[in-house]
Structure 1
Amino acid sequence: MSSLRLDAIVLAGGRGRRLGGADKASIRLRDERLIDRTIGAARRIGVERIVVVGPRGATDADAVSVREDPPFSGPLAALSAGLAALESGSAEAGDRAEWVLLLACDLEHPGAVCDALASALARTRNDDRLRDGVLLEDPGGRSQ
């Protein structure tokens, strides 16, 4: 569990064209919806508030659900909607998390991703260089 104050935005929209129009968030892997796997992984590292951006019903009761406007307008519009929802939920600056994780609902290994992000962010506390955030890389060195 992280000692950082963390919030998360989970992107769960899109048309699912590569999946024949399927709702990615609702796809089940080992009897668990992909969205629930990602939310659970975020909760396990101590994420306080989660905003899911996607269709209504994509999330559980413990997360805020919002939609980008207009729907299907892309990941930047979804990120903007998620940040606005987090901001509107912060009554004061002291309510804000130190970091916001940006996660996809269909991560193959959400626990490993959340653990890696929390570890990398914790290391920035002791780094004398200014950090705006961290970005993970896949084994091939591609930014993810």
Structure 2
Amino acid sequence: MRFLQAVPALFMICLAAGVMIGTAGLAFWDGFTPGARFFPGLLSAAAVILSLALLLTLQRGTDAGRPELPDAPGARRVLAAMAGLVTLALLIPVIGLLPAAGLFMLFLLLVVLRAALLPSLLTTAILLVGVEVIFVRWLAVPLPAPLFQ
């Protein structure tokens, strides 16, 4: 069971290494302001530190005990959410970020969480309008557009 408990820490260390390798060409500091690698670098460093602390805790035997694994319905929800994330990643280049995020949000709310239809639609609309207004119109951040535009 110890290896199973160490898997999240090992995964986070690998993910942090991937982020650092993926942002290797970006500037950490740019003049008087943080560069594009600053925030990913801080998050990666924090992930490594916390993961090493978890591994040290497991190695010393001071962990809280056996992990609580999800029951069958919980495992199905986790797998459905993971499938939704993969589908989201595949849909973004095809239909764009906002429509893909809207479909993902509806999938999570309606299928995974089994929320009511009207609150789910309102939540999704508020999310999409908020992203559009804040990021696209106010901050002028270019979001991924569909391939066939």
Give the alignment's TM-score, normalised by structure 2.
0.28
Q: In terms of Rg, which structure is larger?
A: 2
Q: As a proportion of its length, which structure holds more helix?
A: 2
Q: State the TM-score, normalized to the length of structure 1.
A: 0.29
Q: Relative CO higher for 1 or 2, CA cutoff 8 Å, sep ≥ 6?
A: 1
More strand per residue:
1
